[in-house]
Amino acid sequence: SLCAAGKPNLSYQELKDLKKANVLHIDVRERWEIDRFGKIPESINIPLGELMEALQMDPTEFREQYNQKMPSKSDPVVFSCLAGTRSKQALGFAMSLGFN
């Protein structure tokens, strides 16, 4: 399941369309889940337990840790997980930090 603030649930096709517009896709599953079920192309993995810290990192540190430019608070971001519960939590965390 996928979450974005403008629309709490996205279809796979909607995500594909958003990715064409340079939306940052953060997969909040645990690393073992990525190993077991596979990585979603063009997503970055930040397990939910690391997300709050990651979104508050220095941009240079974020790039070193995740090999990706840190999103600004106004950049479009989509969260995904296995069933939708963690992605909704991730969305709440990001919004509480001022991401819109």
Distance CA 72, CA 99 (A): 8
Residue of 2, 4, 46, 81 with catalytic role: 81
**DSSP H helical ranges for 31-80:** 31-37, 48-54, 59-66
Distance CA 57, CA 86 (A): 21
Q: Is 81 annotated as catalytic? A: yes
Which residues are annotated as catalytic?
81
